[in-house]
Amino acid sequence: MRAPAQPVIRLRGKAFSLAILVIAEVAAMATWFATTASLGAIRAQWDLSPFQEALLTSSVQAGFVAGTLLSALLSLADRADLRTLFSASALVAALANGAILLFEPTDPAVAILRFVTGMCMAGVYPVGMKLAATWARGDLGLLIGMLVAALTLGSASPHAMAAIGGLDWRAPVAGAAASALIAAVLIRFAQLGPNQAKAPPLRLSNALDAFRRPALRLANLGYFGHMWELYAMWAWIGAFFAASFAMRYGDAPPFDPRLATFAVVAIGALGALGGGFAADRLGRTLVTALSMAVSGLCAAGIGLLFGASPWLLLPVALVWGVSVIADSAQFSAAVTELSDRSLVGTMLTVQTCVGFLITLASIHLLPYAVDLLGWRYAFCLLAIGPFLGVLAMLRLRLRPEASAMAGGRR
């Protein structure tokens, strides 16, 4: 009579642990865009060059690249206790963000602290995906989609904090620090699922598997095209809204552009969940290719609505917000399914390492594209990535290894 009760216990463990993981991920990832969300308030008090503005975001990306590179070389996500690594990373991120309040935004120390925050996120984002994957049972795309949805909401939350905090640039920074501190405690209550492999031996060459295997290489190339677009869009869509609203309404827009930014980033959570649900049933390559095609078209066309009524501009931006992230989790799910089981954490870390390295280029290049082309055509630069990503995923669909994805649905 006791045997039937065991699956119920496991189900409760899965549901509870994933709920804790999602909440902790949202809370920790709030630190990512804490200063980016404050740009409007910072500009009101300090003169920033385009490079300084971009540095407030790109320093986090650079830190993340450094952290994931170190983690990949040491295979930390496959060798360390996942909850301890997540908790320690969130704690240090909270302290680094709190320390920003001691300096002016133009102080070089801020960029250093943002770099440290990015390094800590290497112990949160890919580690969270690995933790979610331990619970997967035919729903890997949806589970990782939940994590990406959490990342999306966490990334959007500072924009809401900024709107509530008015012109106080410290509000999103302080809120994000407190949020990360909560995440460091919460993650200790999560449990690991049954899908755990034996830790691999420590070899620096483990990380190269991501490029040695053709199917993994194509999955990663699709992800790299996606990342060229994603974070530059998230980093600069707020500035685009502010400039567009100012051009049409001057100092009296119908609503705060920061709330529009929050809506466009946050709605991506629905895209991540919907993309995961669809990919588990229709196939990873189909969903990723379709998502990138839509987001690429939005990137190429949204500038034509610059200065137009927000009621025309915002719907297109919301479609972009959904499509730009709907595919993200599926690249990670594909890598999880195509990798050696003992190296899943390392492969996820390598993927995110190179992907976020690419974001450094697009984030810094976009302001120069604005100066050269204006907002009407600047986002066309971002469309290059998803269109190349579509080609990579269609090639992956033709490979025999693709049958390992989504239960054979490719």
For the segment 280-294, what is each residue's pLDDT rounded down to a tens digit? 888 889 999 999 999
Q: Which residue has the tokens 């709605």?
A: 267
* Region of 271 on the Ramachandran plot (φ > 0 left; ψ -120 to 50 alpha; else beta): alpha
For residues 141-161, give the mean pLDDT.
74
- pLDDT confidence bin for 87, thresholds 50/70/90: very high
Q: Look at residue 12 in the predicted model and tell me its pLDDT.
A: 53
CA-to-CA separations, 115 to 63, 67, 93, in angstroms, rounded: 4, 9, 10
Class of residue 92 by CB neighbours under 10 A (exposed 0-12, middle 13-18, buried 19+): middle
Q: Taking 90 as the threshold, does the pLDDT of residue 105 lie above it?
A: no
The mean per-residue pLDDT over the stretch 153-158 comes to 71
Lowest mean pLDDT among 210-214, 274-278, 383-387: 210-214
Cα Rg of the chain (Å, integer): 20
Contact 406, 244 (CB under 8 A): no
- pLDDT of 201: 59
Sign of CA dihedral 196, 271, 291, 34: negative
Residue 164 predicted with pLDDT over 80: no
For residue 198, name the pLDDT band (cuts at 50, 70, 90).
low
Residue 20 main-chain phi, psi, to 5 deg: -60, -45
> Is the per-residue pLDDT at 7 higher than 50?
no
- Give the model's confidence band at 163: pLDDT under 50 very low, under 70 low, under 90 confident, else very high: low
**Mean pLDDT for all residues in the chain:** 83
**Per-residue pLDDT tens over the stretch 207-249:** 676 777 888 889 999 999 999 999 899 889 988 999 999 888 8
- 210 or 296: whose pLDDT is higher? 296
Residue holding tokens 């909401």? 153
Q: Compute the half-sphere exposure of residue 29: CA atoms within 13 Å on the CB side of its CA.
A: 23
pLDDT tier at 4, thresholds 50, 70, 90: very low
pLDDT digits (tens, 9 = 90+) for 10-60: 445 888 988 898 889 888 888 877 776 666 677 777 777 777 777 777 788
Q: What mean pLDDT is predicted for residues 78-101?
A: 90
Q: How far apart are CA 305 and CA 99, in angstroms?
A: 40
Confidence of residue 8 (pLDDT cuts 50, 70, 90): very low
- Token digits of residue 106: 């133009």
Specify the pLDDT at position 80: 79
pLDDT of residue 203: 60
pTM over 0.85: no
When pLDDT is averaged across residues 198-208 and rounded to a whole number, the result is 62
278: its two tokens: 């669809």
Confidence of residue 399 (pLDDT cuts 50, 70, 90): confident
Residue 204: per-residue pLDDT: 60
